[in-house]
Amino acid sequence: EVQLVESGGGLVQPGGSLRLSCTASELSFSTYWMGWVRQAPGKGLEWVANIKQDGSQRYYVDSVKGRFTISRDNAKNSLYLQMNSLRAEDTAVYYCVADRSGNYPYWGQGTLVTVSS
């Protein structure tokens, strides 16, 4: 069974940084685009970023461009999201997703990021 396990969430002050990690098991990780989708408390889903299999292409939602960086390590079956200059509006559960041609058949359980003073 495919598993995606996120870690690294927590409480951070506005302007601070966090690095999220996602480790995949039972997934042919290096063959998938991977991404992050977030969900603010009580709200809907928002795609945040994704990265090509070899890391050569990366895309971001406009609201995080220049602040967030997505990366991956195929040798470790791991995906990362470095989040800098965090804002209150970045508060959300962040889900790691495996991206199959734009839809998401596999999701992690999510990790909560709270930006507050």
Residue 61 makes contact with another protein by CB under 8 A: yes
| Smallest separation (angstroms) from another protein to the CB of 73 | 23
The strand order across the sheet containing 78-83 reads 3-7, 18-25, 78-83, 68-73
Q: What count of residues does the chain have?
A: 117
Subset of 77-96 contacting another protein (CB under 8 A): 95
Which residues have CB under 8 Å from 86's CB, separation 6+? 12, 13, 14, 15, 16, 17, 18, 67, 113, 115
Subset of 7-26 contacting another protein (CB under 8 A): none
| Smallest separation (angstroms) from another protein to the CB of 44 | 5
Residue 117 makes contact with another protein by CB under 8 A: no
| Smallest separation (angstroms) from another protein to the CB of 7 | 15
Residue 105 makes contact with another protein by CB under 8 A: yes
Q: Tell me the three state secondary structure of residue 32.
A: coil
Angle, CA 45 vertex, CA 41 and CA 48 arms, to 5°? 105
Positions that interact with another protein (CB under 8 A): 44-47, 59, 61-62, 95, 100-105, 107-110
